[in-house]
């Protein structure tokens, strides 16, 4: 929603995904995928339609390979490998077999059938609550759009998905952008972009950061409030888009740009330092990743290992990706890259509305309270056991930990650990090397687990608190539902009490406790994390140096005093204000 002020400016708030401040004119971009018309064909035309699809797929593959080469030259191989996933999506046998079957049975044009099959997949992905999997829809849409263009008329198929011919610098405004769109952006013209949807974890956001393109996403209904030619200022630090900025605003932003440039240079000096408080207390600062190719960027930002390696990607794509050997190779690559630091691999967190194709016959009535996380793994050994073996095999090549998601009781945790021990025995019999002392952890993201933390701590080597789900389940708030999103407050007293209780239970039982949810990178909450005695914070790569700087400005004693101060407060707003007072004293430049 826009914010109006007395000077006539219009301000739109979204999510900052790539830093920078730019000013220019708006260029509106239209929809991503054009809908082909449906037409009947004769049986004699079915085989030519199959050949037409095959040719379009080959042409699309060539375009993706070319795009990958361009990005490798511009931003390095780790960023170009995003398009490796696009090649896998292009060749997805499930999609192609369904298209072929419908083409033969319905005798309709292949481009329309391909469009309909893809749209069904996209519709199911768009409903997914988990942002990491929901954002994969844009990758499928990217590939499908290219295929449909190549199935179209020759002159349309050859049209490049770039933004040329405007003859001036501009800021792109769109409903969404695909990674290909972002990779195709000509920086001589496109200063930055803003979209109506998207998140920090989308491939488009990753690409924007890799190419240093300022970007803001998640500005609802933006295209209905701006027009091509409007003058705007895009703030990729604070997630703002300002239409028709006045002179006072422009002057303020010139000062802000200069300050940010100094700050960025200053933060780089922290890259190779350990993370410790002003009074010398060390905290491990690691990174969250979803793909092995993110490791290079993580290392550039000075991460002390990987605190959360999400593995759902293996199960949302081709079956070959989830084979034991394929997973082992990925885990080994990461373990070797971060050595001597550790990588903690979360076993696959499928569930409810984010299941891999064919796993659940019918949708669950309440998927977020249903079959997900460790519950799926324990009931699907063909999924769980190969992954456990892959993780164990990788542990022979580096420091690897394993953690189990969505634990709600001791019985589940014991069953998961028993499965791990059985796979150790199987590898031992097969003569396969592994780390027999691999660290085992439980994710604490359900209130019952937090309340049973002492009992769970006796079974594992560490806790990792998933604050996103812990907040959601404690407050009964769907964090992606706009109607109740204002209730999703990490600083809610109930949430903070549970986190404190979990950390204290871990230490009583001689194990360490980390945080891998969004709260770990929330600089307003950093003093509380230090005051609670959290041992590890795992954050996104772009947040690492800012969090390290924040910790370096804090003393444990003053953070513990803050914890005491907020213990008597009854609202998230009051707690946030207390935290803000300390933060503005210690590192105001990081949050303004």
Ordered by where they begin, the domains of the chain are 2-29+163-266 (3.50.30.10), 43-157 (1.10.274.10), 278-590 (3.20.20.60)
Cβ atoms within 10 A of the Cβ of 577, count?
14
Active site residue 516: yes
Q: What local confidence, expressed as pLDDT, does residue 156 receive?
A: 41
Q: With 90 as the cut, is the pLDDT of residue 569 above it?
A: yes
Pair 247, 253: CB distance under 8 Å: no
How far apart CA 548 and CA 301 sit, in angstroms, is 10
Q: What local confidence, expressed as pLDDT, does residue 7 receive?
A: 41
Q: With 70 as the cut, is the pLDDT of residue 160 above it?
A: no
Q: Which residue has the higher pLDDT, 559 or 82?
A: 559
Pair 438, 402: CB distance under 8 Å: yes
**Phi and psi at residue 135, to the nearest 5°:** -70, -15
How far apart CA 487 and CA 482 sit, in angstroms, is 10
Q: Which of 124-138, 259-273, 436-450 is the most confident on average?
A: 436-450
How far apart CA 184 and CA 164 sit, in angstroms, is 10
Q: With 90 as the cut, is the pLDDT of residue 78 above it?
A: no
**Mean pLDDT throughout 243-247?**
92
Residue 340: cis peptide before it, omega within 30 degrees of 0: yes
Specify the DSSP element, H or E, that contains 21. strand 21-28
- Residues facing residue 25 across a β-bridge: 170, 231
Q: What local confidence, expressed as pLDDT, does residue 353 receive?
A: 47
Average pLDDT, the chain: 85
DSSP structure class, residue 85: H
Q: What local confidence, expressed as pLDDT, does residue 33 receive?
A: 62
Q: Which residue has the higher pLDDT, 484 or 430?
A: 430
Q: Are strands 231-235 and 190-195 parallel, antiparallel or unpaired?
A: unpaired
How far apart CA 83 and CA 78 sit, in angstroms, is 10
Q: What local confidence, expressed as pLDDT, does residue 154 receive?
A: 47
Q: With 50 as the cut, is the pLDDT of residue 162 above it?
A: no
pLDDT band for position 455 (cuts 50, 70, 90): very high
How far apart CA 502 and CA 74 sit, in angstroms, is 45
Q: With 60 as the cut, is the pLDDT of residue 167 above it?
A: no
pLDDT band for position 378 (cuts 50, 70, 90): very high
Distances, alpha carbon 203 to alpha carbons 183, 210, 450, 565, in Å: 10, 10, 33, 41
Q: With 70 as the cut, is the pLDDT of residue 64 above it?
A: yes
Pair 416, 443: CB distance under 8 Å: no
Strand order in the sheet with 231-235: 2-4, 10-13, 240-243, 231-235, 21-28, 170-174, 190-195, 215-217, 15-18
- CA-based nearest residue to 444, from 420, 419, 473, 422: 473
Burial of 232 (0-12, 13-18, 19+ CB in 10 A): buried
Q: What local confidence, expressed as pLDDT, does residue 344 receive?
A: 98
Active site residue 203: yes
Q: With 70 as the cut, is the pLDDT of residue 382 above it?
A: yes
**Lowest mean pLDDT segment, chosen from 35-44, 325-334, 359-368, 583-592:** 359-368
Q: What local confidence, expressed as pLDDT, does residue 510 receive?
A: 98
**Mean pLDDT throughout 223-247?**
89
Q: Which residue has the higher pLDDT, 5 or 102?
A: 102
How far apart CA 539 and CA 307 sit, in angstroms, is 8
Sign of CA dihedral 564, 570, 571, 572: positive
Sequence-distant (≥ 6) Cβ neighbours of residue 110 within 8 angstroms: 49, 50, 52, 53, 99, 103, 151
Q: With 80 as the cut, is the pLDDT of residue 299 above it?
A: yes
pLDDT band for position 6 (cuts 50, 70, 90): very low
Pair 283, 514: CB distance under 8 Å: no
Pair 368, 352: CB distance under 8 Å: yes
- Assessment of whether the complete model's pTM goes beyond 0.75: no
Q: With 60 as the cut, is the pLDDT of residue 164 above it?
A: no
**Lowest mean pLDDT segment, chosen from 151-160, 267-276, 293-302:** 151-160
Q: What local confidence, expressed as pLDDT, does residue 1 receive?
A: 45
Q: What local confidence, expressed as pLDDT, does residue 329 receive?
A: 94
- What token pair was written down for 10? 């219009």
Q: What local confidence, expressed as pLDDT, does residue 163 receive?
A: 46
Distances, alpha carbon 498 to alpha carbons 110, 338, 493, 559, in Å: 54, 31, 9, 18
Place of tokens 């200063």: 191
Pair 24, 171: CB distance under 8 Å: yes
**Mean pLDDT throughout 473-498?**
84
To the nearest whole percent, how much of the chain has pLDDT over 90? 52
**Mean pLDDT throughout 439-465?**
98
To the nearest whole percent, how much of the chain has pLDDT over 70? 84
pLDDT band for position 284 (cuts 50, 70, 90): very high
The one catalytic residue among 27, 189, 293, 516 = 516
Burial of 431 (0-12, 13-18, 19+ CB in 10 A): exposed
The one catalytic residue among 27, 189, 203, 293 = 203
Beta strands (DSSP E) in 290-337 are 306-309
């Amino acid at each position: 929603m826009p914010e109006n002020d007395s000077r006539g400016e219009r301000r739109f708030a979204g999510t900052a995904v790539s830093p920078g401040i730019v000013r220019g004119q708006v260029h509106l971009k239209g929809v991503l995928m054009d809908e082909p018309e449906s037409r009947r064909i004769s049986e004699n035309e079915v085989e030519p339609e199959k050949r037409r699809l095959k040719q379009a797929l080959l042409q699309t593959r060539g375009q993706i390979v070319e795009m990958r080469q361009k990005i490798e030259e511009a931003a390095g191989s780790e960023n170009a490998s995003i398009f490796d996933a696009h090649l896998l999506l292009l060749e997805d046998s499930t999609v192609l077999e369904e298209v072929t079957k419908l083409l033969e049975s319905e005798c309709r044009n292949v481009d329309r059938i391909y469009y309909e099959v893809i749209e069904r997949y996209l519709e199911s992905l768009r409903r997914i609550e988990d942002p990491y999997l929901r954002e994969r829809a844009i990758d499928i849409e990217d590939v499908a759009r290219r295929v449909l263009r190549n199935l179209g008329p020759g002159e349309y198929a050859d049209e490049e998905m770039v933004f040329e011919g405007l003859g001036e610098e501009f800021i792109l405004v769109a409903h969404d952008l695909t990674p290909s769109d972002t990779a195709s952006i000509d920086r001589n013209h496109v200063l930055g972009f803003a979209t109506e949807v998207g998140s920090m974890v989308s491939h488009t956001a990753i690409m924007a950061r890799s190419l240093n393109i300022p970007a803001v996403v998640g500005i609802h209904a933006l295209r209905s409030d701006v027009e091509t030619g409007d003058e705007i200022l895009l703030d990729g630090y604070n997630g703002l888009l300002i239409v028709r900025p006045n002179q006072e605003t422009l002057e303020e932003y010139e000062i802000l740009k200069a300050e940010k440039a100094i700050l960025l240079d200053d933060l780089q000096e922290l890259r190779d330092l350990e993370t410790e408080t002003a009074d010398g207390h060390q905290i491990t600062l690691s990174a969250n990743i979803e793909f092995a190719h993110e490791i290079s960027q993580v290392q550039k930002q000075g991460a002390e290992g990987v605190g959360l390696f999400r593995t759902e990607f293996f199960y949302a794509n081709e079956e070959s990706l989830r084979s034991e050997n394929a997973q082992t190779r990925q885990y080994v690559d990461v373990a070797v890259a971060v050595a001597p630091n550790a990588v903690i691999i979360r076993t696959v967190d499928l569930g409810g509305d984010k299941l891999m194709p064919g796993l659940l016959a019918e949708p669950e009535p309440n998927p977020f309270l249903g079959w997900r996380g460790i519950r799926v793994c324990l009931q699907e050994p063909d999924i769980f056991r190969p992954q456990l073996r892959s993780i164990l095999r990788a542990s022979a090549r580096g420091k690897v930990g394993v953690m189990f998601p969505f634990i709600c009781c001791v019985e589940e945790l014991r069953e998961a650990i028993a499965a791990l021990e059985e796979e150790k025995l199987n590898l031992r019999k097969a003569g396969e090397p592994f780390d027999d002392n691999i660290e085992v952890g439980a994710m604490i993201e359900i209130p019952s687990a937090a309340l049973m933390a002492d009992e769970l701590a006796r079974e594992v080597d560490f806790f990792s608190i998933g604050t996103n789900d812990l907040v959601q389940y404690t407050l009964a708030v769907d964090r992606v539902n706009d109607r109740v999103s204002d209730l999703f407050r990490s600083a809610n007293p109930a949430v903070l009490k549970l986190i404190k209780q979990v950390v204290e239970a871990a230490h009583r039982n001689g194990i360490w406790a980390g945080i891998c949810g969004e709260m770990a990178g929330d600089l307003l909450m950093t003093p509380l994390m230090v005051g609670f005695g959290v041992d590890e914070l795992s954050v996104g790569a772009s947040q690492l140096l800012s969090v390290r700087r924040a910790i370096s400005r804090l003393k444990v004693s003053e953070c513990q005093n803050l914890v005491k101060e907020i213990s008597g407060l009854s609202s998230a707003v009051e707690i946030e204000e207390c935290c803000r007072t300390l933060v503005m004293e210690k590192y105001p430049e990081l949050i303004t």
